[in-house]
Amino acid sequence: MCRKLYAILAILLVMFSVPMSYGQGTGSAGSKLVEKLTFDEISWDIPKLGEDVIVDTLPNGMVLFMMEDHRLPVFNVRALIRVGEMFLPKEQMGVLKLADEVIRTGGTETLTPGKLNEELEYIAASVETWIGNESGGASLNCMSKDIDKGLGLFADVLMHPAFAQEQIDLEKDKIRESIRRRNDSP
């Protein structure tokens, strides 16, 4: 038994040592060109809190980090919220997935889903929402000239979501279909 084990180990040693020593120094013409490539040192220009990034805390405890960049005429804002599946009891798992999809597509108390989409398209803006395991959030991207309108729509989506029943039903159907099809592709 011990001899068989030593023989197998000797064969494995030979098998794995031959290709390694054989391949050294025999690179292709392409690999030799790649070895000659040189790259500039990567330098990071990290914004400094308090100088480049303004930090402010609102009366409700929300912390704002603001940084101006005038290279492009765009306005981007991202809100991060402490919400996620880990904060829910296990019998409510899946509720946040549904809320994640419908908070943006379900419209607001004052705007139907179609009207909200029209308003965003008219100013070439986007509002996106997401919910993960530990956090959720929303983002707004719009042109600088449309900040007021964009922020109004962004706030409306976050503070007054309608969760339109037809959108909830549509998302439920999508989830059921994805569950039904999850084993279709091996």
Give the domain CATH number at 170: 3.30.830.10
Q: Does 87 map to a domain?
A: yes
Q: Does 14 map to a domain?
A: no
Q: Does 122 map to a domain?
A: yes
Structure pTM? 0.68
Residue 126's DSSP bridge partners are 141
Q: Does 18 map to a domain?
A: no
Specify the higher pLDDT residue, 156 or 35: 156
Q: Does 148 map to a domain?
A: yes
Query: Is residue 122 over pLDDT 90?
Result: yes
Structure confidence by residue, pLDDT tens digits, 2-11: 566 566 666 6
In angstroms, the Cα distances linking 131 to 41, 46, 82, 167, 176 are: 37, 28, 10, 17, 19
Q: Does 128 map to a domain?
A: yes
Tally the domains of the chain: 1
In angstroms, the Cα distances linking 7 to 10, 18, 171 are: 5, 17, 61
Domain boundaries, position 107: 55-181
Structure confidence by residue, pLDDT tens digits, 66-95: 998 889 999 999 998 888 888 888 888 778
Q: How far apart are CA 47 and CA 67, in angstroms?
A: 9
Q: Does 162 map to a domain?
A: yes
Q: Does 141 map to a domain?
A: yes
Instruction: Give the DSSP H/E element, type plus range, for residue 181.
Output: helix 165-181
